[in-house]
Structure 1
Amino acid sequence: MTQDGPPAEPDKRALRRELLAARAGLTADELRESSAALAGRALGLPAVAGARTVAAYVSVGAEPGTLALLDALRARGVRVLLPVLLPDDDLDWGVYAGAGSLVRVRHGGRMELSEPSGGRLGPEAVTAADVVLLPGLAVDGRGMRLGRGGGSYDRVLARLERAGARPALLVLLYDGEVVARVPAEPHDRPVDAVVTPSGVRAFR
């Protein structure tokens, strides 16, 4: 018998704890090497190579590193949008203008996030992106992504769907974070591909 709705959440919490613990054990060298490898893999994807606007994010802590990729995209003339967390956990967006344009912002008691310091474009700006990079902790063979549980990117995906926008949805992960199965709920949406340091796997 399959379970839908709330029963999946405890399973998600347990899997999140396990994956975050593994990330916490990574060394600075491993983080640096994986960041460079991820950038190379992602830049080779046709969807990324042809993109004019990419909605991305700045990695924090032991997340798979994104700054190398952000700088490479910007060097190619790609317009890179970065999220700004709003009080209700929705996301506004601003343009990435280089590492020096980022500011560290602490939201309540949570970790500090690096956000763009320039003007705000509004939550709908993401609907203009050709590619959306989604943070995550794991993905399974169906393309179902496990996020951190805040719900911000569930709102982004719902906004894209309402707008009829069809950007390529990519998640950047470490190799060990492609798992057999992620607990999924009815509102969850699959990604198009996962990028890891060792390769790319497309789901649709």
Structure 2
Amino acid sequence: MELLKYLVDHVESLTKITSFIAVVSMTFAATMKRFYFSYKFREPKKVVKQIMYLNKYSEYMSESDKAYTRYRINDEIMRDITKIPSINNRKELIYIFNNLEKKQYIKDICNLQNDMERVDGRFFIKASRFGFLFMFNRFMSIILGAVFFMFIALGLISVYEGKSVIVMLAFLTISVVYEFLGLYFLSLSPTQNTIDKINLELAKIKVPE
């Protein structure tokens, strides 16, 4: 097979490309997630600086200045602690997390925070199966899954054709990387079954007045 021969001859290059794709994919996914939740990165050192201003120069600040500075400090600290970038969602999510019985759903609720609604005084997640983030994550997981099976097949073919063990291990290693990437993208969008279970838990939490 010409394709197999080409891939065997370029195994080292394929390994490097796979590593590059893995890094780029993870970075891109994180960037998309931050953008989707209206996240703007601020360095933690800003908190220290703001606290220093409040403590050292409070006599030069009005009460409204101090109140705003405390608000900014709180925003920075809670952004870092909760990993919830959107200030619009954070207050409700903190309330939910404090009252949620099954804490294992916290990560999934964070991923679905923009799909949360209020229905009859209760929180409810109505996730669109055709939303951009869902479709993007599913598309990436399918593509990476296909590449995973392709490299598994190439590894088996290399064994059948008597190629070196190094070639087989290289193909299998590459396939494992793509498998983990595919599972990572798949985990970013909870299944409908998981969403239904989360909604059962959310139904126990009353929306605050």
User: Where on the TM-score scale, by shorter chain, does this alignment land: which range?
Assistant: under 0.3
Between Structure 1 and Structure 2, the one with more helix by share is: 2
- Greater C-alpha Rg: 2
TM-score, with length taken from structure 2: 0.21
Between Structure 1 and Structure 2, the one with more strand by share is: 1
